Structure 1
Amino acid sequence: MRKLALLFPGQGSQYVGMGKELLERSATARSVFAEANEVLGFDLQQIIAAGSAEELTRTEYAQPALLTVSVAAYRVYMEEIGVVPAYAAGHSLGEFSALTCAGVISYPDALRLVRRRGQLMQEAAAEEAGAMCAVIGSSRERIEAVCVQASNSDERMVVVSNYNSSEQLVISGHRLAVEEAARTLESDGARISFLKVSAPFHSPLMHSAAAKFREELAACTYGSFEWPVVANVTGKPYESPAQITSLLTQQLTAPVRWDQTMQELCDGGVSIAVELGAKRVLTQFMKSDAKSIVCYPYEKAAELDLLRQELAPEQLEQARRLAANNVVTRCLAAAVCTKNRNWDLEEYEQGFVAPYKQVQRLQEQLDETGAPPTEAQMREALELLKQMFITKRVPEQEQRERLVDILKQTGTTSLFSSMLADSEHLHALEPC
């Protein structure tokens, strides 16, 4: 089966009304938004749905808003498509979304972290007059040289903050230095566009925010990776959760190396990518620099139809069909789309990561042979799923409902009815 990557957009992709179709069609998406409101203590959903563009652009709101939309899109994707990724990557703020969906940061912790990150970045921006500007149509070497020329002190500095693609870089720093560099590059023939952001992200002007944010990161507990996540700072997958505090701190002042991220996905054999969140900025970057990867946005219902019917290659379509009829594949999807409530790293490693990998190996065996799963393989996958549910501390009612759903949709209720503790759910099932 071809390898798939999930991509998560960053700040600048937000817009008033984003996520509307997800909310309208999915109870899962609505629960993600409701949880955000509860954790943050204010009505984030209202700001997203009906706030002003100016309010939503404020980094303290934009960051939790984008995280919420991406997590909602991911959970809906896992229910509607269910193809487990080989990699995940997020652009800037999107790296938090990627880490959350990979099971490393709990959703409540991620909400609190990005809210605080936004506040600290806003405070740092208030200390300096900063700006960011996208540059299109100039070489990397020329842009870097112009930034050096326009920087003459700690009070007048501009740097490359985003290596987005071969066609687009972003510069960031003190406003006067950014404006000078932009004028020079524009006179060279480059196209420039000042970004509507409230802080000079990924530049030395964020040092004060980074120092404070490190403390917030260090206080969190991190789980294991359910699949590799590519870090912005290195352009390589995280090696362990122990790197998170360091790399996410560095990310505030270091450039986003999205060009290297795309190359890493290509080198890793990824051939399909799905952008989960607002707009389709990352899809455009992939079309520019990662032509071997077909990338699809996943925000609106029409895009779901394209992914399923028009754009999905044969292998992905086969995986989708298997997800509808294969107990083993369904167990993989159910394992990752349920909320985790257990942040004991050792317990999670033993009780979730290890059994999840066992189910993955079962699925790989089935993919290699093309044979349907045997009763023994299905039973093993279901038992491992129950173990993963217990480790994630999924409520018993939800455990039963998800198991019932798997058995009902795969036509295997009669085979495995003894695995369901609550007989009332069995009586409610249609005959299989």
Structure 2
Amino acid sequence: MQTALLFPGQGSQYIGMGQDLFTRSIVARRTFEEASEILGYSVSNLCFQGSEADLTRTDYAQPCILTVGIAAFRVLVERMEREPVYLAGHSLGEITALTASGALHFADAVRLVRFRGMLMRDAQKHKAGSMMAVHGLTPQVIEKECLEPEYRGLVVISNLNSSRQTVVSGQVNALTKIKERFTDLGGHVTPLQVDGAFHSPFMKNAAMQLYDELRLIPFHSMRYSVLSNVTALPYPNVNCIPSFLSEQMVERVRWQGCVQFLMERQVYNLIEVGPGSVLSNMLRREKLDACMIQSMDKKEYLQKLIKESLPKGNRAVSYAHYLKAALCAKNYNIHGETSNYLKEVAGPFRELEQLARSGDVADGNAKALEALNHILDCKMTPAIQRGGILSHIAEEGVVRHV
């Protein structure tokens, strides 16, 4: 059964998100720490003890959701039995998917989503906007209402999420009025936990500024194919990233189209990677009988994953084994520039060499594992090969990599 990984967007956040990952996994903990160093505040504190008001703020929510998603992905990727054939993310989740694919370095992604969140927040300073989900009405009926003179230009369809849910964005006053109209027509309306009219023309200036920022970021070859929200098709190449991500801010999110693309290609093993179960629940309501739908935010799934990942044995591992694994791992990064590749791997290699020369052993040492994982990232090592490398090291003793 072919696998796709799905990354949620804003609205999936909640107080306590990622805490199980942080507590149980060294890899996840390092991911949170890296994001905190970049942002200048504790991402873990904000995720675990922050207020609902703070986690609703776009400029805080987006880096936190990205961090939880990448932390979960890094834990999952070492234990996957098969490579995913596609990655897809809903709105912000598309950036998480691109990061997981290797197109964006995590540090660049954290800075990008912080900038994106600030742009989206600032876009609402003079025009208060929001979003709401509409259930029970077809997109055609909703579109017809949005085009009525009373709402034209003030409310638009922003997300085609499923056959059961369409999201609209617009000015708060107009949304309040049209909500009554949708209810009268037999629809059920749910306000979303966002502070802006995202994926609408209200984001035009923000989209232009985001495009300028995206043009400054280096992009890298993708290990996995990523679906675009704008086209509901895979990215043709990384050169499309600036235009697709900036267009996404003003265009509809075609999530239903992304799911349909996967179904048409019989990709039936769907794993939601990140906080909450918004995408999983949406898929279950579609009654996709052939699909296996899982969420890493479900405690039982995470516990099973982490339990299976703990290697047997009680001996420590020599740092030399990490160095040997890093040197022997095949380089799949054949499309990247050699100079950039060497620059990226030089530091981690030196760190492993210094640890190996120390003659000590790595009893679950996070530094050695982090350096090795960075090198495997640079080499674009597929999940299955990566899992084999780590399992081989585990056979030499105990490696508590989660």
- Name 1:8's counterpart in structure 2: 7
Q: Distance in 2 between matches of 1:37 and 1:146?
A: 44
Letter in 1 for 2:214: L
Letter in 2 for 1:181: I
Q: Distance in 2 between matches of 1:403 and 1:139?
A: 48
Equivalent residues of 2:135, 2:187 under 8 A apart: yes
Where in structure 1 are there 5+ consecutive unaligned residues? Answer: 310-319, 325-333, 352-385, 395-400, 414-425
- Name 1:83's counterpart in structure 2: 82
TM-score by length of 2: 0.78
Letter in 2 for 1:407: H
Q: Distance in 2 between matches of 1:306 and 1:294?
A: 16
C-alpha spacing 1:174/1:308, structure 2 compared with 1 (3 Å): same
Q: Distance in 1 between matches of 2:190 and 2:377?
A: 49
Q: Distance in 2 between matches of 1:242 and 1:151?
A: 40
C-alpha spacing 1:196/1:391, structure 2 compared with 1 (3 Å): closer
Q: Distance in 2 between matches of 1:61 and 1:391?
A: 27
- Name 1:266's counterpart in structure 2: 263
Equivalent residues of 2:79, 2:387 under 8 A apart: no
- Offset at 1:81? 3.4
Q: Distance in 1 between matches of 2:40 and 2:334?
A: 22
Q: 1:224 aligns with which of 203, 211, 221?
A: 221
Equivalent residues of 2:99, 2:109 under 8 A apart: yes
- Offset at 1:195? 1.5
CA deviations over 1:326-351 (Å, ceiling 9, x no partner)? xxxxxxxx99xx9x9x9994349999
SS in 2 for 1:235: coil
Write out aligned runs for 1:349-360 (5 A). Answer: none
- Name 2:295's counterpart in structure 1: 297
Q: 2:164 aligns with which of 164, 167, 170?
A: 167
- Name 1:397's counterpart in structure 2: none
Letter in 1 for 2:199: H
- Is 1:281 equivalent to 2:278 in the alignment? yes
- Offset at 1:171? 0.4
Q: Distance in 1 between matches of 2:221 and 2:89?
A: 17
Equivalent residues of 2:58, 2:120 under 8 A apart: yes
Q: Distance in 2 between matches of 1:308 and 1:150?
A: 55
Letter in 1 for 2:224: W
- Structure with larger RCO (C-alpha < 8 A, sep 6+): 2
Equivalent residues of 2:133, 2:192 under 8 A apart: yes
Which is richer in helix? 1
- Name 2:358's counterpart in structure 1: none
- Name 1:21's counterpart in structure 2: 20
- Offset at 1:227? 1.1
Write out aligned runs for 1:225-240 (5 A). Answer: 225-240=222-237
- Offset at 1:133? 1.1
- Name 2:72's counterpart in structure 1: 73
- Offset at 1:49? 1.2
Write out aligned runs for 1:120-199 (5 A). Answer: 120-149=119-148, 156-199=153-196
Equivalent residues of 2:13, 2:61 under 8 A apart: yes
Equivalent residues of 1:151, 1:158 under 8 A apart: no
Q: Distance in 2 between matches of 1:125 and 1:75?
A: 34
- Name 1:101's counterpart in structure 2: 100
Where in structure 2 are there 5+ consecutive unaligned residues? Answer: 313-324, 343-371, 381-385
- Name 2:337's counterpart in structure 1: 346
- Name 1:200's counterpart in structure 2: 197
Letter in 2 for 1:260: G
Q: Distance in 2 between matches of 1:278 and 1:203?
A: 25
Letter in 1 for 2:291: I
CA deviations over 1:161-186 (Å, ceiling 9, x no partner)? 11110001110012222222221111
Equivalent residues of 1:9, 1:93 under 8 A apart: yes
Aligned length, in residue pairs: 346
- Name 2:246's counterpart in structure 1: 249
- Offset at 1:42? 1.6
Write out aligned runs for 1:358-369 (5 A). Answer: none
Equivalent residues of 2:10, 2:91 under 8 A apart: yes
